[in-house]
Amino acid sequence: MQLVRDFGTRANDVTALSASEQARLIRNGELSSLEVVNAHIERIEAVNPELNAVVVKRYAAARAEASEADRDRAKGTPMGALHGVPITIKECLDLAGTPSTFGLPSRANVMLERDDAYVARMRAAGAIVVGKTNVAQLLMFLESDNPVYGRTCNPWDLSRTCGGSSGGEAAIIAAGGSPLGLGTDIGGSVRTPAAFCGIASIKPTAGRLPDAGRYSSPIGQRAIVSQVGVLAREVADVRLGLEIANGGANPAVEPPMPLRDAGEVAISRLRVAVYIDDGIFPVAPAVRRAVHEAAAMLSGAGASVCAWKPPSLSDAYQLSMGILSADRGAGMRRFLGRGTRDPRIAALMMIAARSRRMIGALGGLLRMLGQQGLADGIKPFGHGDTWHYWQLVEAQLEYQQRFKAALDEAEGGPFDLILCPASSLPAWKHGAARELNLGGAYTILYNLLGYPAGVVPVTRVRADEESVRETSRDLIQRAARGVESGSAGLPVGVQVVARPWREHVALAAMQEIENAARKRGDFPFSPQGLRL
């Protein structure tokens, strides 16, 4: 079942506009902030009963802030870049007067006293938070489902997930209930939902917008640090949101992390490395086509585009999972206490708590049963001591050096950008996260490296390209084939990766791809509005 957009009313026309356009119309007095906020509340109320994306509603406060924004405009008070514009934020980000549960029942009644720093920056720019959006429990898997708020559905197909852990955010933006939002990303949590829901997003360079995430991966784990990211229907809004969350292009905040102008990037001077297969999880046919088409779009704009093979992505995946599970699930057990556990979290904790000897024995048994995918998936687990954690971090540093050398020294390089899949598959069916886990190293690689990475939609799955995957005893491959079956019409995005601190280069390429895809006609979103 799909949610179909109706553009017969003024309210629906307003919610089809970008955040930048809404801000312009409010600033010029062509729309009031209250009118825009009410239109989005109306849209949320229309779609949320089926989506369950907005789980903390802030309607009365949002209306009051909108009225105040209108009074300020009338008085000539200086206005921020998002003056009077409604937004949503991921539930785990602190907003005064609301809970940040991370899907933990024990935190459902804990009301926060102050805003997260990045939320405060958005509000200082005039944005009005109308609600908070659903997450995966502990932000630890690629579906948005937890014992506090339940499951969020994908607006393109309610039988499928919107992704996680920022899935509620992606779902409500795709459905027109919000033009712009904030999420967090430690392994793909803003990029995978964007890919599944057909919108754009960016995870910045590690260290630009660090997110403590106190009830997810323990904050003492500093090798792979969650970053706050931005999601929107249009790349221009992602760019605007990133600048605001950054504290401005040349922020006066500490530490000051300048953000350069994507408009100054000449696409024709870029060198782009392209790969499609991570060697772990083969992609669906539509994903392969989307990467080829995006590469052609950049090449058509004058960029030099070359096929490229990165250093072993299997090594990167093993390092990532080893680092994130180095405490053998102790942090998760402490956060959960005796509270209700999502089945996917329970399964992850069961594996994480096993010893190396047990992991080895279990892996051998799985291979004997023809479950190579599951056996490979549990290999990084089981150490749980400081010495092995230090070894993993040293190996991470060495891998980062290898990766940079490959970008610098490969034929056709040195490369400015990497173009690759955003996800191996289109939106998963509900519950598939138990078998698929991350579905390869396509996103978590760039958390391990700390590189900025964005997602931009390109196309939709065609009826004749749902799957070429052979039938298999392997549960992971069977789950992947099940996801591909019936996927026609779902959106497909690509991932655009830049060197550290060069988000502007990724955003410029994303804008070029978005422009070219819109002109072609099968882009998930048209200027006339969303078709869901």
In the numeric block, the tokens 């829901």 are attached to 197
- Whether the Cβ atoms of residue 407 and residue 121 lie closer than 8 Å to each other: no
- Whether the Cβ atoms of residue 207 and residue 189 lie closer than 8 Å to each other: no
Domains in the chain: ranges and CATH: 10-249+268-312+402-530 (3.90.1300.10), 313-383 (no CATH)
Distance separating alpha carbons of residues 430 and 322, to the nearest angstrom: 26
- 159, burial (CB in 10 Å: exposed 0-12, middle 13-18, buried 19+): exposed
The pLDDT > 70 percentage for the chain reads 96
CA angle at residue 508 from 504 to 510, to 5 degrees?
115
- Reported as a single tens digit per residue, the pLDDT across 258-268 is 999 999 999 99
The set of catalytic residues is 90, 165, 189
Q: Is residue 6 scored above 50 in pLDDT? A: no
Distance separating alpha carbons of residues 474 and 278, to the nearest angstrom: 19
Distance separating alpha carbons of residues 321 and 163, to the nearest angstrom: 19
For position 164, what pLDDT does the model report? 97
For position 496, what pLDDT does the model report? 99
472 to each of 79, 280, 434, 475, how far by Cα in Å? 59, 16, 17, 8
Q: Is residue 213 scored above 50 in pLDDT? A: yes
* Chain Cα centroid distance, residue 341: 23
Task: Return the structure tokens found at 277.
Answer: 């297969």
Q: Closest Cα to residue 183, out of 253, 242, 127, 126?
A: 242
Task: Return the structure tokens found at 377.
Answer: 């998936």
Distance separating alpha carbons of residues 226 and 121, to the nearest angstrom: 18
Task: Return the structure tokens found at 381.
Answer: 């687990």
For position 3, what pLDDT does the model report? 54
- Reported as a single tens digit per residue, the pLDDT across 278-321 is 999 999 999 999 999 999 999 999 999 999 999 999 999 999 99
- Local confidence band at 356 (pLDDT 50, 70, 90 cut-offs): confident
Distance separating alpha carbons of residues 32 and 15, to the nearest angstrom: 13
For position 530, what pLDDT does the model report? 43
For position 381, what pLDDT does the model report? 85
- Whether the Cβ atoms of residue 272 and residue 306 lie closer than 8 Å to each other: yes
- Number of Cβ within 10 Å of residue 75's Cβ equals 7
**Residue 191 φ/ψ, nearest 5 degrees:** -80, -45
CA pseudo-torsion sign 366, 363, 349, 230: negative
- Reported as a single tens digit per residue, the pLDDT across 70-127 is 999 999 999 999 999 999 999 999 999 999 999 999 999 999 999 999 999 999 999 9
- Local confidence band at 153 (pLDDT 50, 70, 90 cut-offs): very high
Q: Which of 147-156, 182-191, 362-371 shows the lowest mean pLDDT across its residues?
A: 362-371
User: Quick check: helix, strand or coil at residue 98?
Assistant: coil
Distance separating alpha carbons of residues 155 and 178, to the nearest angstrom: 13
Neighbour-count burial for 180-218, b at 16+ CB within 10 Å, e otherwise: bbbbbbbbbbbbbbbbbbbbbbbbbbbebbbbebebbbb
Q: Is residue 531 scored above 70 in pLDDT? A: no
**Residue 430 φ/ψ, nearest 5 degrees:** -55, 135
Distance separating alpha carbons of residues 478 and 373, to the nearest angstrom: 11
DSSP-derived secondary structure letter, 220 = T
Distance separating alpha carbons of residues 424 and 431, to the nearest angstrom: 17
- Reported as a single tens digit per residue, the pLDDT across 47-61 is 999 999 999 999 999
For position 352, what pLDDT does the model report? 86
195 to each of 60, 326, 365, 397, 460, how far by Cα in Å? 32, 29, 35, 29, 11
DSSP-derived secondary structure letter, 301 = T
Distance separating alpha carbons of residues 532 and 522, to the nearest angstrom: 13
- 251, burial (CB in 10 Å: exposed 0-12, middle 13-18, buried 19+): middle
447 to each of 81, 200, 251, 442, 497, how far by Cα in Å? 29, 18, 24, 10, 11
Mean pLDDT value across residues 195-221? 93
